A and B are shown apart, each in its own frame.
Chain A
Amino acid sequence: MIEVRRVLCHVEDIFHEFGPPPANPLRRGSIAAVITNVFAGRYVENIAPFMEELKPLGVTLAKRLLEVLDRPPGAIQGYGKAAVVGADGELEHGALWHSPGGYGMREVLGWTQSGEAAGRPGLGTPAAGRPAPGRPAPQPGNALAIVASTKKVGGPGTAIDVPLTHLNASYVRSHLDAIEVRVPGAPAADEVVYILAMSCGPRIHERLGGLRANEIERWDGQK
């Protein structure tokens, strides 16, 4: 059983960054859970089973983040994840978040064309899976891209930049971004901060071309 000591939600609306303000401000957010590091202070060889225990936390955090963002799942365009491990832990404890963090994202944002949310019947939003007009290939699912991540070992209040990418194609240039997350006072030496982040749009004044979100063709999570 995971003991969550503290949760910090962060939502920001960016109206402009000294350029022409877009019609809709960019909303981004993050959620950070401070939990006890059960492996703190010693080397444990077999830590992988803990990933399974972290899965419900991933789902809970993703759902809660969506709630505080106050947007439907279909409005989420970018995502990322991160971990900050307290001083008595090791970087590998941060890596435990890769699988459950991604699982949580797909549980709330993912769906497949067959109407299943990434293999979990009844979840997801298949209605949103209609092929977009003019698209060469119908979108076969959602949350297809790898969830980009960062991790570090740090003291209380350590800031970490959580990378953000388009949730269906990592190469969409307009959505390559990052959001800084920091929990004042955490992690303590025997704690870990696990983080999820979501964005409702591209960078505020994105104008560097590259692959556009409406040009995704391969649907392989990359392009």
Chain B
Amino acid sequence: MIAAIRKIVVQLDEVRVEMGRAVEPPTRRAVAMAVIANPFAGKYAENLDVLTTIGEELGGLLGAKCVAALGIRPDEAHSYGKAAIVGEAGELEHAAAILHPKMGATLRREVGSGAALVPSAKKMGGLGTAIDVPLGHKDAAFVRSHFDAIEARVADAPRRDEIVVAIAVTDSGRPHPRVGGLQVGEIQGKDGLR
């Protein structure tokens, strides 16, 4: 593993009742976060391949942590998302290098499939900065019931020369979805959209 990990945080959020109505089965969202050293803190580097490799590693590691926290088979995952918070001594492009080139492939291996884009968010931040990780259905981005987000935050990170990397996986959509759109039962799962 190339990533120098200081800390891993895994959260499982289970909603059983929303607006007084039982959610059955409860919606469950997992988010796994790794606090890593930023190898490029404090300096401009043209080539960010090291971070891309770190992203590849973490897509698998954090994806597996989420699936384990949910206690499901990989193919039972519904939606996913990813995000990164870069400490002050880094730059936003460092988040992009982790998230975009290779992370999706290793994450998809952990959730069985994934024709859809893995939605993402990134920002610069300090200790305890929260980021809302967007969530979308893994096989069809247009599934409206699964448009959601989950907050990721590590109280003591990122320090200046660190990056918080987050992966979120669910086994469900929103608690009481009722705004129409493409339904799970209508997924074709070929083009990643519908």
- Note whether A and B form a binding pair: yes
* Chain A contact residues, CB within 8 Å of chain B: 3-18, 68, 157, 159, 180, 182-184
A6 to B18, CA, bound (A): 9
Are the CB atoms of B10 and A6 closer together than 8 Å? no
A6 to B8, CA, bound (A): 23
A15 to B18, CA, bound (A): 37
Residue of B nearest to A26 (CB): B7
Q: Mark B4-33, 1 if CB is under 8 A from A, else 0.
A: 011111111111111000000000000000
Most buried by A among B13, B15, B17: B13
Show 24 A/B contacts (Cβ-Cβ < 8 Å), sorted by A.
Answer: A3-B17, A4-B16, A5-B18, A6-B13, A6-B14, A6-B17, A7-B12, A7-B14, A7-B16, A8-B12, A9-B11, A9-B69, A11-B9, A11-B11, A12-B9, A13-B7, A13-B8, A14-B6, A68-B12, A68-B69, A157-B151, A182-B155, A184-B130, A184-B150
- The answer to whether the Cβ of B153 comes within 8 Å of any Cβ in the partner chain is yes
A15 to B8, CA, bound (A): 8
Query: How many positions in chain B have a CB within 8 Å of any CB in the partner chain?
Result: 20
- Determine how close the nearest CB of chain A comes to the CB of B76; give it in whole angstroms: 18
- Determine how close the nearest CB of chain B comes to the CB of A71; give it in whole angstroms: 14
- 8 residue pairs, one from A and one from B, having the closest CB atoms: A180-B155, A5-B17, A184-B151, A12-B9, A9-B12, A7-B14, A13-B8, A6-B15
A125 to B18, CA, bound (A): 38
Chain B residue numbers with a CB within 8 Å of A182 are: 153, 155
Are the CB atoms of A15 and B7 closer together than 8 Å? yes
A184 to B151, CA, bound (A): 7
A68 to B65, CA, bound (A): 12
- Determine how close the nearest CB of chain B comes to the CB of A52; give it in whole angstroms: 22
Chain B residue numbers with a CB within 8 Å of A159 are: 155
**Given A159-B155, A184-B151, A12 contacting B15 (CB threshold 8 A):** no
Query: Residue A17 contacts which of B6, B9, B150 (CB distance < 8 angstroms)?
Result: B6
Are the CB atoms of B11 and A10 closer together than 8 Å? yes
Chain A residue numbers with a CB within 8 Å of B10 are: 10-12
